[in-house]
Structures are given as structure tokens and as C-alpha cells.
Structure 1
């Protein structure tokens, strides 16, 4: 397990409260977006901003349901149907009704986030479930959900013309949990963007490929 650069102690675990905070901050920021901006591209992604929120909602939903069965699967995903609405669009099980507008889209995001928060709160720490980046536990899925939320809100903020800078301590905890080999002496938020292929760091060029390690830290 990695140590905190600021304190020299082992970092505190990622919790359901951390995930709840990440989703609440993201939704609060996205509510400030101009309605006409939702059809524009989300940062460096090939998806528009609406599709990106659907994708984020789908990530949170998928992590929640992966923990849901009495015996969670260890060799694959719970077999929902994921499908794209257009060529090149994200393959989701979750799609928002466009007639509900951006307010409805953000309700879908809130609801999906709440599902994962609830599962993390109620799942035994000994439970394990499949993820393509390593069989993980409830804390790991919480951390994954936070990373998805923070970095996709970054993509969305770029596309929607919003400011977005999440709390440093939140970034530090998910870096320790999922990216233990990331630089320890750089600011946590830029480091998380670097670790997910979205930015450079001094002495560390932008990554062209990346992945986290979701396996439990025992």
C-alpha cells in the first residue's frame, strides 16, 4: 500500500461518502451549463456532452449492479445489454430520455450515483466482483466510480465551458487506491488527470495508454 506524500502515513480508505461527494459536486457544477452546449464535444472525447453524462451514469450503474448478486461474478460482467444509439457513441445500458432535457439527464446521473453509493455502504468488505482491470472489492468500485466522475466531469467542463477542480484529498485517496505508482510529489488533481491520459506533468509526458489497478489493497 502506498503512503501519503503529505503525511507519510497510509492514506485513509475510499468510502461511500467520498463517492457521494464526488457525484454531488459534479452534478452541482453541471447544472451551470448552458442548455445549448450539451450537443458539443466533451473535451478530447468523441462523444457529445449529453452522451458523456449517459456514459458516466452507465459506469456508476454498472459498478453498482456488479456488486449486486448474492454471489457476484468473478469471470465477467452481469449480462445487461449495452448498446450504442449511434455509430461511435458509447455502448450503455443506461440512456436518458432527451425529452426530459438537461435537468432530467442530471437526475439520471444522480440516481446512478446513488445506486453505487448504496451498494458500497451495504456490501461486505470481503465481497469480490469482476472488473476488467482486476477483481475488486466495494472500496475499489467506489474509487473507480469517483475516478469516472472526476475525470468525465473534467471532459464535460471543457466542452461546456465550466470550471472544475475537485478536492485534493479526494483525488489523493483514489490515486492511492487505484494508481499506486503515480507520482507522489505533484498536486493530486493534475496527477489524476495525468494518470488517466488527460494531461502532462513536469517530467512525465502525457500517457497514450493507461489503466488502474482495482485489486484489493490487503
Structure 2
């Protein structure tokens, strides 16, 4: 059975990761210590954090009985004070190509889990227990928004497809304004931009809960 036209799919997630990796391949090898947009992390750390997000979302759906009261208990730790707390870290000696392989691999884990997990499965997330579609949408938001952060730090162009942004807005940000372009709206919804008549948000969250 075909999913509804506005459904977020594993193919959408796969596309987001592929586009992000392709965009970041254009980076100079010596540029990765630049600060990522408005984050306190550098560009390398931000891609590690993104890979870790994708890995952890896949892991949440992995147990035969997915947890509903917390995360699968991997050890998350920072490599420096103020750095992201990750279970996934890339080997610096492998260079940027290795970092992007880690991102691709973690994206592939989540794509595979979204494809093979029955749609009635639910798993814990702090922003609402979710289903495979919800975890796909969360993975896409993490991917496109953190790629935006990194692209700002590296001086790279980045704009994901409007349809992709529109679908994840509908799934995770049902109260986002209508009538504005999807990508600027997603940046607004995640506290990274203003919209006409709407100042930049100082706090935000999505709603990953399953809606009928």
C-alpha cells in the first residue's frame, strides 16, 4: 500500500542524508574547526552530533520491545567541556572523508530501521513517543538543520527541497505558520531564523507524538 502523499518516508530520510553528505564533501579539509553557525560546537563536532542523533533514533526502535520510559542506555559522553554528548565519535585520523562515512553509516542505520519497523511500533522520545515515520521526520530535521549550521560555518550553500521540508513541518510542527516557504519556516520553527512578523524563537520543540 502506498503511503499518503504527505507522509514522511525512509526515502525522504535517505535523500536528506545523501544531499547533506554531498554538500559537505565540498569542504576544505582544514576548515572543520570553524564554529557551526550559532552553535557552541565546531563543524566537526556538529556532524558527529548529527550522526549520533541518527544512530540513537535507529537504536530506539531496535529492541524487540522498544523502551517507552527513556533512551537505550548507551554511554553518551563529551570529548571536551561544552562539546556534544555522543555515543558516536569519528576517528580524527580518518579525516573529513571518514567523518562523512560515519554520517552516511548512521543515516543508513536509521533508514533501514524505518523501512523494516512495523508502523504500529512506538518508542520513547523526550518530545513525544513516536512511530517509524516520526523518527524518520526527526532524523530529517536533524539532518537539514545541522547541515545548515555547518554550511554557515563553512561558507557553503545549502537549501534542502521544499517538499521534504513541507512534509516534516506537517509531521512535527503542526502549529507552524502556513503560507510561508517551507525551508525558511523550518528554520524559524527550529530557532534559526525570523519570518515576516514573527521574531526568531528563543525556545522551541517539535511534537513527535503520533496523531490519528
TM-score exceeds 0.5: yes
Matched with 1:128 is 122
Matched with 1:3 is none
> 1:93-120, CA deviations, whole angstroms, 9 ceiling, x for partnerless residues?
0000000000000000000000000000
**Contact 1:82 1:92 (C-alpha < 8 Å) held by counterparts:** yes
Structure 2 stretches lacking a partner, 5+ long: none
Shift of 1:12: 1.3
Match 1:59 to one of 46, 50, 53: 53
Match 1:152 to one of 131, 141, 146: 146
**Contact 1:11 1:176 (C-alpha < 8 Å) held by counterparts:** no
Q: Secondary structure at the match of 1:39?
A: coil
Q: Which runs of 4+ in 1 moved over 3 A?
A: none
Q: Secondary structure at the match of 2:32?
A: helix
Structure 1 stretches lacking a partner, 5+ long: 1-9
**Residues 174-213 of structure 1 mapped to structure 2, 5 A cutoff:** 174-213=168-207
**TM-score between both structures, scaled by the size of structure 1:** 0.95
**Residues 1-218 of structure 1 mapped to structure 2, 5 A cutoff:** 12-218=6-212
**TM-score between both structures, scaled by the size of structure 2:** 0.98
CA distance in structure 2 between the aligned counterparts of 1:84 and 1:134, rounded to whole angstroms:
25
CA distance in structure 2 between the aligned counterparts of 1:41 and 1:35, rounded to whole angstroms:
15
Shift of 1:35: 1.1
- Number of corresponding residues: 209
> 1:30-75, CA deviations, whole angstroms, 9 ceiling, x for partnerless residues?
0001111101100000000000000000000000000000000000
